[in-house]
Amino acid sequence: MSDVLLCYCRAGFEPELAAELGERAAHAGIAGYARAERGAGYVEFFAEQASALARALPFAALIFARQKLLRLAELRGLDPGDRIAPILEALLAAPAPRAAAPRHGEVWVEHPDTDAAKPLAGLARSFGNALRPALRKAGLLSAHDDPRLPRLHVLLLAGDRLLLAESRVEDSAPWPLGVPRLRMHPEAPSRSALKLEEALLTLLDDGERTRLLRDGLRAADLGAAPGGWTWVLVRNGLHVTAIDNGPLRQHLLDSGRVDHLRADGFRWQPKAPLDWMVCDMVEQPRRVAERMATWLREGWCRQAIFNLKLPMKKRWEETRLCLDLFAQQAQRPLRIRARQLYHDREEITVFAAPPR
């Protein structure tokens, strides 16, 4: 029986994730095929070596995946009066990597992040509360959350259907459904602030955030108005040159950490090298990729975060082309990480920095 890699994604981007998984699997020399339904919020990739594929495709390298799991079983036709017994039976029948119990350090009961699946949210919460003690009694779940053990995921697809899967804590997103729950701050000039906050949380590790986001560093925000990304940088202690012909929120200017220059973000360049450049301009993705590469190639900034707005068709192909174009034209070694964030829409967010 084939193993199955299970990945969550933004609803509507299942074809892009399926194409990404298929191409990356082929590059790893692993044969397989994707099964995806547009709007489902997840993709299954069937392969004879899904475990090897999971090792060859670290979660941090995936762009359109919010979460990466290995599927254990699919259960259909469940009796709403007793969903727990079939789950215990399936888990006890599944091959275990080692004889010692428990097998899992924690359990998340989830549902796809889609409008159609939202009614399952209440069931997910109540069922999780009932399932945990049953798993512990069966010796399948540790008494307390244990990050050394795989995490069990129960993905509810309907009242009588679910998927069982597991993830390694070090190779998966640390939030249910892979979605960090961020709140809009009342002083944030726009909701775009959430995109940069999520990017800093998702694309940088703890050490990088401490080292690269500290008081006294200098940054440029290209296409800054009304100031959402500038506001996030200022909150992290940076001094920001905000480039935009449009206005910024007055409280940003009053902070003493923002210089507003009315100029074209595609033409302006700093007089001295900066620590950061960020960019959320609405423009053709290839043009943005080329301009971002110029910033890194010319040494105008040390690291950057920028968005690439994707077309309606062939989005995986455009993503790959733009990232390759950026890497080639930067003409220097870079760490490049890209992800379609929860707060992104028809776009991906890219982080680029010199090698460590």
Domains of the chain: 1-65 (3.30.70.2810), 78-109+121-179 (3.30.2300.20), 192-353 (3.40.50.150)
For the chain, how many helices (H) and strands (E)? 10, 14
pTM for this predicted structure: 0.93
Residues 74-83: tens digit of each pLDDT: 999 999 999 9
| Separation CA 167–CA 54 (nearest Å) | 10
Whether the predicted pLDDT of 97 surpasses 60 = no
| Separation CA 308–CA 133 (nearest Å) | 45
Please check if 275 is assigned to a binding site. Answer: no
Give residue 131's pLDDT. Answer: 97
Is 313 in the active site? no
Residues 330-352: tens digit of each pLDDT: 999 999 999 999 999 999 999 99
Give residue 147's pLDDT. Answer: 86
Which of 68, 137, 195, 309 does the annotation list as catalytic?
309
Give residue 108's pLDDT. Answer: 98
Please check if 237 is assigned to a binding site. Answer: no
Please check if 225 is assigned to a binding site. Answer: yes
Task: Report cis status (omega within 30 of 0) of the bond before 102.
Answer: yes
Please check if 117 is assigned to a binding site. Answer: no
Whether the predicted pLDDT of 22 surpasses 70 = yes
Q: How many residues are present in the chain? A: 356
Percent of residues in the chain assigned helix, strand, coil, to nearest 5: 35, 25, 40
Give residue 258's pLDDT. Answer: 96
Residues 270-318: tens digit of each pLDDT: 999 999 999 999 999 999 999 999 999 999 999 999 999 999 999 999 9
Give residue 1's pLDDT. Answer: 38
Residues 217-271: tens digit of each pLDDT: 999 999 999 999 999 999 999 999 999 999 999 999 999 999 999 999 999 999 9
| Separation CA 191–CA 229 (nearest Å) | 9
Please check if 3 is assigned to a binding site. Answer: no
The pLDDT > 70 percentage for the chain reads 97
| Separation CA 221–CA 281 (nearest Å) | 10
Residues 111-156: tens digit of each pLDDT: 999 999 999 999 999 999 999 999 999 999 998 888 899 999 999 9
Average pLDDT over residues 62-87: 96
